[in-house]
Amino acid sequence: MAKSEIKSRTKSIPKATWKFPFQKQNFYIIGVGLIIIIIGYLLMATGITEEPALPNGKWNNIFAVSIAPILLVLGYCVIIPYGIFKSFPPKEQ
């Protein structure tokens, strides 16, 4: 084989490029989701007291019973997956 044939073969192979799929906005959305999850766990921890429930079967802390689980589900099942799957258009340079 001649040198010109070898050079022409190597030049025809395209170089593979890979771009990281996340952008700055994705990390902001995931960060907001993590903050909401932390707030949910902190609110849930407010229900840990000497008497978390009243004698008639009702809880005396509405934050630990209803709002904290809503925040946790919102953070884990909505905001973080949205931050992972959301695709932003690439910036023109």
Chain segment 54-88, per-residue pLDDT in tens:
666 666 678 888 999 999 999 999 999 999 999 98
| pLDDT value at 4 more than 70 | no
The answer to whether 33 touches 83, Cβ cutoff 8 Å, is yes
User: pTM (2 decimals)?
Assistant: 0.72
Q: Give CA separation, 33 vs 20, 53, 68, 86, in Å.
A: 21, 30, 14, 14
Tell me phi and psi for residue 26, to 5 degrees: -60, -45
| pLDDT value at 26 more than 90 | yes
**64 vs 35, residue with greater confidence:** 35
Confidence of residue 19 (pLDDT cuts 50, 70, 90): confident
Contacts of 6 (CB under 8 A, 6+ apart): none
Average the pLDDT over 39-51 and give the result: 83
